[in-house]
Amino acid sequence: MGLVNHKFTLAARPMGLPKRTDWSYTEESVRELAEGELLIKVLLISLDPAMRGWMNESRSYVPPVGIGEVMRALAIGQVVASRNPRFEVNKYVSGTLGVQEYFITDGKALMEVDPRIAPLPVFLSTLGMTGMTAYFGLLDTGRPEPGDTVVVSAAAGAVGAVVGQIAKIKGCRVVGIAGGASKCHYLLADLGFDTAIDYKSEDVTAALRKSCPTGINIYFDNVGGDILEAGLANLARGARIVICGAISQYNNTGPVQGPRNYLSLLVNRATMKGMLVFDYMDRYKDAIREMAGWMAAGKLKSREDIIEGLSSFPDALLQLFKGENFGKLILKVAEH
């Protein structure tokens, strides 16, 4: 076909924030398809905090990306050639396509995406893994009841914004923690949060004490570190802490900061529970249907922060760890 694939492979395991030299940007010819395979043109790449963990040597819930391998990434693409009867040319699909322009697969781990339901980027944000993480993390692990006080960190981030909105739909009081006045304004004015705390200008522990006078019933944590400790310091009896991520700790060169006040779990008979979205795969379809319904009804807003060009990948990923993104960070690789 004469196509050329550009891709980012992992050149070195980063210490701290990934540097430009931790990546190789290379090109290769796209090979011919074998029987049963299809060729996908990558359109949109999801940039996720979890990617930092995949770059480390240690095995987590998935094996690490190997040195010299294409960087793992969720993405949306379009089928441009197919020798697989299940996938017609021109269909849109989502899957682990990698940080590259073309992907060849047998199609087994792909999901079809229907662009009539929502714009394509939304399938990487609210109707994608991000939204699924928020949905199952809050509803299954957090178990909100009407009237609960729900606190979410990284609240203007991709997962946090959806968590807070679902909590409002479920009748909870919602407090969001975010960095900077414009993100806080977004939480209050656009997403309908009850309170926003700016961790860059406020003492989060004191602000939580003030905004949660009867304590926190659910704390949905995306960040770890000091903000997790501020949450632990303000729990209500029987509180649930959902451990979804710890972006403040992913680029540490020293040890992770463990929550020094974890004995608040004992004092408050509270629960801290970790969740991984992949465990809910068999329920994605129902969740997407419900979330799409909320979006159609105007109860749930999706916001994407789109950066152009595959070659922007190393810098775009850093924006995530610097908290510079506003909504779901997506790399646009090709027009659709």
Closer of 24 and 268 to its own copies (Cβ): 268
Total residue length of the chain: 336
Contact flag: residue 96 with its own copies (CB under 8 A)? no
Closer of 188 and 256 to its own copies (Cβ): 256
Phi, psi of 28 (to 5 degrees): -155, 160
User: Could you say which of 279, 286, 308, 315 contacts its own copies (CB under 8 A)?
Assistant: 279
Closer of 28 and 203 to its own copies (Cβ): 203
User: Could you say which of 11, 117, 139, 276 contacts its own copies (CB under 8 A)?
Assistant: 276
User: Could you say which of 38, 40, 175, 244 contacts its own copies (CB under 8 A)?
Assistant: 244
Quickly list H helices, the chain. Answer: 50-54, 129-136, 158-169, 181-185, 204-211, 225-232, 264-267, 284-296, 313-321
- The residue type of 114 is D
Q: Output the CA–CA distances (angstroms, integers) from residue 151 to 40, 57, 124, 143, 216, in the order listed.
A: 40, 33, 24, 13, 7
Closest CA to 77 of 51, 59, 102: 102
Contact flag: residue 266 with its own copies (CB under 8 A)? yes
Contact flag: residue 1 with its own copies (CB under 8 A)? no
Q: Per the structure block, which two tokens stand in for 281?
A: 């795969």
Q: Give the contacts of 301 (CB within 8 A, at least 6 positions apart).
A: 161, 165, 190, 191, 295
Contact flag: residue 19 with its own copies (CB under 8 A)? no
Closer of 98 and 137 to its own copies (Cβ): 137
Contact flag: residue 24 with its own copies (CB under 8 A)? no
Contact flag: residue 259 with its own copies (CB under 8 A)? yes
Contact flag: residue 154 with its own copies (CB under 8 A)? no
**Segment contacting its own copies (CB under 8 A): 80-88, 199-207, 249-257, 286-294?**
249-257
Contact flag: residue 261 with its own copies (CB under 8 A)? yes
Residues that bind its own copies (CB under 8 A): 60-61, 224, 229, 243-246, 249, 255-276, 279
